[in-house]
Amino acid sequence: MAILDILNYPDPRLHTVAAPVKTVDARIRRLVDDMAETMYAAPGIGLAATQVNVHEQVIVIDTSEDKRDLKVFINPRIVNACGKQQYEEGCLSVPGVYETVTRAESITVEALGHDGQPFTLDAEGLLAVCIQHEMDHLLGKVFVEYLSPLKQSRIKNKMKKRQRDR
């Protein structure tokens, strides 16, 4: 396994729309394993393939305290969403920035798992937020784009300055 480089906002590659995975094969399973290792090392609770410059529909999530509940979503689709909730979100591609975003309170998602088998999952609370957040990455959207233009501009400038200062 390997720790992958995470793209930082406002990198234009974060706006690439991910293609569906055609076959869950050894390459995809290795990608999932590398993404999980990268997410845990960061540390984070979710990571989309887009964030590691792989533009395929793959997400890993683990919202558990003990980091022993890895969930893998390949070609995820939200088939039902209801309610609204506000949650303070952060993002491994926008380190150090936390902002409140409104999303669906509960969702039903269909996807393929690590083994390539289809499954359906009902999620609410933090898990629902995380799934929606990571699925946005697959659509080329970063959570700061839910914020006002002024906040987006400030965050973009902060991130550019941080990259220059490295």
In a domain, 7, yes or no: no
What pLDDT is attached to residue 162?
Answer: 85
The domain tally of the chain equals 1
In a domain, 66, yes or no: yes
Beta carbons of 154 and 132 less than 8 angstroms apart: no
Residue 77 pairs in a beta bridge with 110
In a domain, 2, yes or no: no
In a domain, 44, yes or no: yes
pLDDT single digits (tens) 98-119: 999 999 999 999 999 999 999 9
What distance in Å separates the CA atoms of residue 128 and residue 124, rounded to the nearest whole number? Answer: 5
What distance in Å separates the CA atoms of residue 26 and residue 28, rounded to the nearest whole number? Answer: 6
pLDDT single digits (tens) 18-39: 999 999 999 999 999 999 999 9
In a domain, 6, yes or no: no
37 has catalytic annotation: no
Query: Distance between terminal CA atoms of the chain?
Result: 27
Residues 6+ apart with CB under 8 A from 62: 36, 39, 40, 45, 46, 68, 69, 70, 71
pLDDT single digits (tens) 71-85: 999 999 999 999 999
pLDDT tier, 1 (very low <50, low <70, confident <90, very high otherwise): confident
Identify the CATH number of the domain in which residue 129 sits.
Answer: 3.90.45.10
Identified catalytic residue from 88, 105, 134, 145: 134
In a domain, 84, yes or no: yes
